[in-house]
């Protein structure tokens, strides 16, 4: 398997930037390359690093992108449902939702179904932004998966979904 040349975090996010590897020396990563969690994490870091410049024109983070698209694609989604899907603590998500509401992208209202819940929707400006983000997202995803053939891309995404679902079911059974 290939050598992983560089692992880094987004510049300016408060995380320390890992040291650059000695280019003359190749480390044996064979064992780690057989570890799904490690490889998924490395791909996530590389993907997020590429995300920021790609979405610079929209000033979106991966999290904001996920919020926009999820709210757009679900007529009724509550803050709690969104927090669960995004694997976030509700208070942390609420801070981000408040910022998005202040900028006029997002709207919040009490749920008719459950008065304790707060439902989310996009403003007209938010819908336009979500559509722009989706268009950019399509080309970004194509770039991300470009090392794979079309059939490999489809299979890869299906396998990721299957693994996520399997882990969700195992967690709900307490396994």
* Domains of the chain with CATH codes: 1-54 (no CATH), 59-138 (1.10.10.10)
The DSSP output letter for 173 is: T
Token pair for residue 101? 């509401």
Q: What is the pLDDT of residue 17?
A: 62
pLDDT digits (tens, 9 = 90+) for 120-170: 999 999 999 999 999 999 999 999 999 999 999 999 999 999 999 998 888
pTM for the model stands at 0.80
pLDDT digits (tens, 9 = 90+) for 66-113: 999 999 999 889 999 999 999 999 999 999 999 999 999 999 999 888
Q: What is the pLDDT of residue 24?
A: 73
Gap between the Cα atoms of 66 and 70, Å rounded: 6
Do the beta carbons of residue 133 and residue 62 sit within 8 Å? Answer: no
Do the beta carbons of residue 104 and residue 123 sit within 8 Å? Answer: yes
Give the distance from CA 80 to its chain's centroid. Answer: 17
Q: What is the pLDDT of residue 80?
A: 96
């Amino acid at each position: 398997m290939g050598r992983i040349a560089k692992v880094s975090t987004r510049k300016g996010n408060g995380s320390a930037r890992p040291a650059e590897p000695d280019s003359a020396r190749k480390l044996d990563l064979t064992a780690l390359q057989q570890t799904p969690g490690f490889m998924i994490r490395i791909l996530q870091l590389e993907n997020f690093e590429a995300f920021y410049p790609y979405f610079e024109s929209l000033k979106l983070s991966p999290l904001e992108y996920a919020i926009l698209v999820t709210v757009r694609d679900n007529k009724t989604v509550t803050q709690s449902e969104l927090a669960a899907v995004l694997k976030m603590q509700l208070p942390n998500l609420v801070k981000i939702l408040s910022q998005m509401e202040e900028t006029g992208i997002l709207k919040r209202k009490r749920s008719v179904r459950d008065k304790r819940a707060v439902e989310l929707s996009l403003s007209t400006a938010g819908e336009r932004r979500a559509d722009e983000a989706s268009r950019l997202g399509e080309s970004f995803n194509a770039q991300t998966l470009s090392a794979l053939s079309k059939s490999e891309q489809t299979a890869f995404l299906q396998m990721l979904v299957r693994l996520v679902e399997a882990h969700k079911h195992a967690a709900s059974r307490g396994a």
